[in-house]
């Protein structure tokens, strides 16, 4: 699956990052997520955050909504291959199988620690602190 292999970002610059949210944690399944946290990243910090409803049911509308919001990186829990392919086709990078409090996960992404096993869904880590 193309969305399960990542390279670490050497530097986070100006961009929008979207995280699927459920009860202030990364939602466990992108396909059923109803809320996004959109974070504007400037340099090595968050300049602005806001919540956006994400209730589109169609896979095509979900991918289009991310694109319309200007999301360049999507951080989520599990995601089906069909959704992932549609999103990646729009040039959006996916960091899937993330787990934890959204603020902690966002900070882990900014600092380059998102690939640590303690930020992965159970069973989605390989070895000690390696990427999937």
Give tens-digit pLDDT for 1-55. Answer: 333 333 444 455 689 999 999 999 999 999 999 999 999 999 888 999 999 999 9
Return the closest-CA partner of residue 45 out of 66, 7, 15: 15
pLDDT at 74 (0 to 100): 98
CATH number for region 2-6+14-119: 3.30.420.130
Give the predicted TM-score (pTM) of the model: 0.85
pLDDT at 82 (0 to 100): 96
Host H or E run for residue 30: none
**Residue 57 pLDDT grade (very low, low, confident, very high; cuts 50, 70, 90):** confident
pLDDT digits (tens, 9 = 90+) for 86-115: 999 999 999 999 999 999 999 999 999 998
Report domain extents, the chain.
2-6+14-119
Residue 81 Cα distances to 22, 91, 93, 106, angstroms: 21, 15, 14, 23
């Amino acid at each position: 699956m193309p969305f399960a292999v990542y390279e670490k970002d050497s530097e986070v610059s100006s961009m929008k990052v979207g995280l699927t949210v459920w009860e202030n944690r990364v939602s466990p399944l992108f396909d059923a997520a109803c809320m996004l946290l959109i974070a504007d990243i400037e340099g090595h910090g968050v300049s602005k955050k806001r919540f956006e409803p994400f209730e589109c049911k169609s896979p095509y509308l979900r991918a289009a909504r991310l694109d319309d919001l200007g999301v360049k990186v999507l951080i989520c829990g599990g995601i089906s291959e069909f959704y992932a392919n549609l999103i990646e086709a729009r040039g959006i990078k996916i960091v899937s199988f993330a787990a934890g409090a959204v603020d902690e996960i966002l900070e882990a992404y900014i600092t380059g620690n998102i690939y640590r096993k303690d930020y992965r869904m159970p069973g989605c880590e390989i070895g000690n602190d390696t990427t999937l």
